[in-house]
Each structure stands twice: as structure tokens, then as C-alpha cells.
């Protein structure tokens, strides 16, 4: 049975921190493939200098092109509205029997606020990326026991930081893939 | 930076002053005041349990000052209690806030006209505020009104978002979202905005899973109103 990981996020832009974490999970969890799923961003968030979905998707494609075990899905972008993870998982379950839902430690903290969290655990194995900087927390709901928590490499890098560097005309080499960098500069993004 | 989180309870409208407080549908002035004061003091009590992880500040309308000063024992620490004029509310709040923010990284702003928050919910918020990322937390009511927001990255715009009538209005929300935070929408809570909400409050507080939303003392105060207005239930 094919073991699929799904990795959602804004990816604005996807950077090497995302790629290193995904590669690490691929190996630790013995996954056959990780599908990156860029989320739709509400108009509210567009004001925060988010690039449009076409650019985010293109940068994602360029960044994943040389790792055959990485792929992407436009499922949430195509809905053109905020998606609930449970809806995405239900859709993907039609294609894949075994899914690992990859989330950050921050999302585990608020997992009890997500739509149908029990159903998410029934349909997937929830894998949590815990970074070395993530502190121990005080309040643990029941999903902490149910999730598979994996220590992943931590690269101190964020998409916000990359966008800011571009805006300030600073180099972003080694922070994103070369192809992604070229695309960002050619299309004059984040200015 | 100090580890403590500053929590600001912000009430633009008078609540202790029965003559000036907003009337809850079908309630007398006195009982409307009793209801809103109970909501505030209940929320304050829930947060207080977590001292010294939290420092609590209460910002009330100046029309409450005289009434509250006549009370033999104030529920709030006098050093942490502020009054403001509603016409200059935003500016006064910025001024109050500026004096209190030194050395503190994490802030929670609450418009305490709701129930549904528990100690566990607050601990969850404090955990999120400890994340390395710049975090913005929002809590809305079932009527989609923002009643709480929190952040671990202060920006000058934040206290200016406080709106006299809406606490944080929709246009302010757009501004908040534009500040490039990692954004978390937390579980909804229940506010008393419409006449039918009183009945819903009764149902809610009757459920065992909601016992953590208020203490026995506060539950008794709500019960007093349920008895008084049983025809509304």
C-alpha cells in the first residue's frame, strides 16, 4: 500500500526549511510520497503582501521538480475559499488508502479547534513536526496522545523573512531553490 | 522580557452604573448591570487563577468609577484598574497601555461579555503565545463578533484597533491580518447579544461539560437571573 504524506501550508514562498523538513519526514516515516497542498488565502490575508495563488503554485512546482517523491495538489486553491483540512482529506482518501497528515507543533496545540478532529484521526495518521525550539507546553488535550510527534530538523527561516529580504533588495540565495529565486526576481514579487 | 502575559479587560460601556449601563432585552436596569458585571467578574476570576503567569488590568468606563468606589471590596486590584472617557476611549486606552507594556511581550485583550472560556483554554493561549513565531490569536462569539485577541508581538497599531462600540470591528480585523502574523482562530465562545441568548446561556451552563466555564459562586449569580427571568427560558 502506498504511504502518502500530505503537507499543507501557505508556502508563500516555499523555502528550504519546508523542503528539509519534508525530506526528513519522508525518510523517518518511510513515506512513498509527500504531497504539498498550498492553501487558499482569504482576501484579508492578501493585504499582508501575499502573492497570488498562481505565483505561489509556480514557485512550489519549481522547488519540487527534482525530488520525484515530492508532488503537489491544487485541491485547496481550486476551491477558491478557505478549506477545512477534513474536506481535503476526504477528497484525497478517494485516491489514497494510507495518508499521514503532516502538521506543525503549533497546529497540534490548537487541533481541538479544528473541524472534526476525531474524524481526521480516523482517516489519517497525524504526524507532528516538533522543532527543537518548540517549548514544552502546559495544556495537552487528548490529541497529544494520539498524534505521532517527530523531531524534525529546524532551519531558522520563514516565508515572511524571505519576502522582507526581497523587499529590501537583499539576496535570498540558499533560502529558496535557485529556480524559485529566479522566478521571484523575474516576476518582481514581494516588492 | 518578562514571562508574564498582560491581560486587558476592556469595557467601553458602563456596567456597574445601573443608570448608564446597556439594557439587556427584557431585563431591568439593575439586572442588566448584574448580568454584565457577572460576565466581567466571572472572566476575571477565571484568568486570576493563573496568576502570576498573567497580570490583569481592567479598563472601565468612567461612569462606573463612583459606583465601584462605593463598594466595600473591589474585585480588582486598584493599581490595575483604569477608567476612561468613552469619547476619547481609544486615545486614553493607548495611553494606559503605553504605561503598562514595558518589558512585557505577550498581551491578551478581552471584551468580557461572554462565557465559554476555561482555564484550559487560557493555558492553550499562553502556550501559543510562547511560540517563536509572531502569533495572533482570535476568539469570536457564535455571532461572529471578536471578543478576545492576543499576540506575542506588539505593534503600535494594536491598541488603536480598540473600537468604542465593537471592541474590534471588522475593518480593524483586516488591519490586524495585514500585520503578517501567524494567525490562529480559537474555539468560539458564547455572548449575550440578543434576547434569545439568555435561554441559550441557561442551556449551556446546565451542561456538565461547561462546568469549568464558571465557579460555583458565579454559577449561583447566573442562577439568580435564571430564577428571576424564568419566563424567558
The closest CB to that of A137, out of B127, B173, B179, belongs to B127
B174 touches chain A (CB under 8 A): yes
For residue A10, report the phi and psi dihedrals to the nearest 5 degrees.
-75, -40
Is residue B1 very low, low, confident or very high in pLDDT (cuts 50, 70, 90)?
Answer: very low
Of the candidate ranges A139-148, B6-15, B162-171, the one whose mean pLDDT is the lowest: B162-171
How far is the CA of B102 from the CAs of B1, B2, B30, B83, B136, in angstroms? 9, 9, 39, 20, 19
Cα angle A119-A122-A123, degrees, rounded to a multiple of 5: 90
Assess contact for B40 and B112: CB atoms under 8 A: yes
Q: Do A113 and B185 touch (CB under 8 A)?
A: yes
Residue A19 forms part of a structural domain: yes
Counted domains in chain A: 1
Residue A49: its chain B contacts at CB < 8 A? 180
pLDDT band for B155, please (50, 70, 90 cuts).
Answer: confident
Say if CB A164 and CB A12 are below 8 A apart: no
In a domain, A54, yes or no: yes
pLDDT digits over A33-63, tens only?
Answer: 999 999 987 544 544 455 788 999 999 999 9
- Confirm whether A182 is domain-assigned: no
Alpha-carbon separation of residue A188 from A166, A167, A191, B160 (angstroms): 9, 10, 7, 33
Q: Residue A156: closest CA among chain B residues belongs to which residue?
A: B132
Domain of A79 in residue numbering reads as 3-155
Q: Is A48's CB within 8 Å of B182's CB?
A: no
Q: How much is the pLDDT for B89?
A: 75
The predicted-structure confidence for A124-145, as pLDDT tens digits, reads as follows 999 999 887 777 888 899 999 9
Name the residue ranges covered by the structural domains of chain B.
2-193
Task: Tell me which chain A residues have a C-beta less than 8 angstroms from the C-beta of B179.
Answer: 48
pLDDT band at B184 (very low <50, low <70, confident <90, very high): confident
Pairwise pLDDT comparison (B232 vs B73), residue with the higher score: B232
Q: Angle formed by the axes of helices B29-48 and B119-129, to 10°? A: 60
> Is the pLDDT score of B177 beyond 80?
no
Strands in chain A per DSSP E: 3-9, 33-38, 70-72, 98-104, 125-130, 148-151
| CATH assignment of the domain containing A96 | 3.40.50.620
What pLDDT score was predicted for residue B173? 64
* Fold of the domain spanning B2-193: Spore Coat Polysaccharide Biosynthesis Protein SpsA; Chain A (3.90.550)
Average pLDDT over residues B111-124: 92
Q: Which residues of B touch A106 (CB under 8 A)?
A: 128, 131, 133, 135, 182, 184
- A→B interface, C-beta within 8 Å: 42, 44-45, 47-49, 106, 109-110, 112-113, 133-135, 137-139, 141, 158, 160
With a pLDDT cut of 90, the percent of chain A lying above it is 75
Q: What is the pLDDT of residues B89-101, one digit of tens each?
A: 777 777 777 776 6
Whether residue A33 lies inside any domain: the answer is: yes
What CA–CA distance (Å, rounded) separates B222 from A55?
Answer: 54
User: Alpha-carbon distance B80 to B114, whole Å?
Assistant: 22
Instruction: Write the DSSP symbol of residue A39.
Output: P
Q: What pLDDT, on a 0 to 100 scale, did the predictor assign at position B92? A: 78
Taking the C-alpha atoms of residue B10 and residue A13, their distance in angstroms, rounded to an integer, is 38
Whether residue A165 lies inside any domain: the answer is no
Q: Read off the pTM.
A: 0.83
Q: What is the mean pLDDT of residues B201-209?
A: 89
Amino acid at each position: 500500500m502506498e504511504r502518502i504524506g500530505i503537507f499543507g501550508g501557505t508556502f508563500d514562498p516555499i523555502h528550504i526549511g519546508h523542503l528539509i523538513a519534508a525530506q526528513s519526514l519522508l525518510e523517518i516515516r518511510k513515506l512513498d510520497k509527500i504531497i504539498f497542498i498550498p492553501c487558499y488565502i482569504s482576501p484579508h490575508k492578501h493585504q499582508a503582501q501575499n502573492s497570488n495563488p498562481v505565483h505561489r503554485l509556480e514557485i512550489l512546482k519549481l522547488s519540487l521538480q527534482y525530488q520525484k517523491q515530492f508532488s503537489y495538489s491544487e485541491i485547496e486553491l481550486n476551491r477558491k475559499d478557505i478549506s477545512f483540512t477534513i474536506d481535503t482529506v476526504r477528497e484525497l482518501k478517494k485516491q489514497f488508502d494510507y495518508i499521514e497528515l503532516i502538521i506543525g507543533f503549533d497546529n497540534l496545540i490548537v487541533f481541538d479547534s479544528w473541524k472534526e478532529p476525531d474524524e481526521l484521526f480516523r482517516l489519517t495518521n497525524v504526524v507532528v513536526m516538533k522543532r527543537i525550539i518548540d517549548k514544552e507546553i502546559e495544556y495537552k488535550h487528548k490529541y497529544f496522545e494520539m498524534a505521532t510527534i517527530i523531531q524534525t530538523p529546524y532551519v531558522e527561516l520563514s516565508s515572511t523573512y524571505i519576502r522582507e529580504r526581497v523587499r529590501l533588495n537583499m539576496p535570498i540565495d540558499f533560502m529558496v531553490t535557485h529556480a524559485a529565486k529566479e522566478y521571484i526576481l523575474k516576476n518582481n514579487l514581494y516588492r | 522580557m518578562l514571562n508574564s502575559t498582560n491581560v486587558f479587560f476592556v469595557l467601553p460601556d458602563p456596567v456597574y452604573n445601573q443608570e448608564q449601563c446597556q439594557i439587556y432585552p427584557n431585563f431591568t436596569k439593575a439586572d442588566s448591570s448584574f448580568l454584565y458585571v457577572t460576565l466581567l467578574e466571572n472572566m476575571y476570576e477565571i484568568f486570576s487563577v493563573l496568576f502570576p503567569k498573567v497580570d490583569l488590568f481592567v479598563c472601565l468606563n468612567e461612569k462606573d468609577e463612583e459606583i465601584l468606589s462605593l463598594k466595600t471590596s473591589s474585585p480588582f486590584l486598584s493599581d490595575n484598574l483604569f477608567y476612561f472617557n468613552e469619547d476619547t476611549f481609544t486615545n486614553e486606552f493607548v495611553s494606559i497601555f503605553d504605561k503598562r507594556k514595558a518589558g512585557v511581550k505577550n498581551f491578551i485583550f478581552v471584551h468580557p461579555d461572554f462565557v465559554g472560556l476555561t482555564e484550559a483554554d487560557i493555558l492553550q493561549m499562553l502556550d501559543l503565545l510562547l511560540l517563536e513565531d509572531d502569533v495572533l490569536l482570535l476568539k469570536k462569539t457564535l455571532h461572529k463578533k471578536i471578543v478576545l485577541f492576543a499576540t506575542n508581538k506588539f505593534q503600535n497599531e494594536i491598541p488603536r484597533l480598540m473600537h468604542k462600540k465593537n471592541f474590534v470591528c471588522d475593518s480593524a480585523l483586516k488591519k490586524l491580518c495585514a500585520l503578517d502574523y501567524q494567525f490562529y482562530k480559537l474555539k468560539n465562545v458564547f455572548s449575550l447579544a440578543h434576547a434569545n441568548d439568555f435561554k441559550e446561556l441557561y442551556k449551556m451552563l446546565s451542561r456538565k461539560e461547561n462546568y469549568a466555564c464558571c465557579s460555583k459562586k458565579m454559577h449561583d449569580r447566573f442562577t439568580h437571573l435564571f430564577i428571576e427571568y424564568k419566563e424567558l427560558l
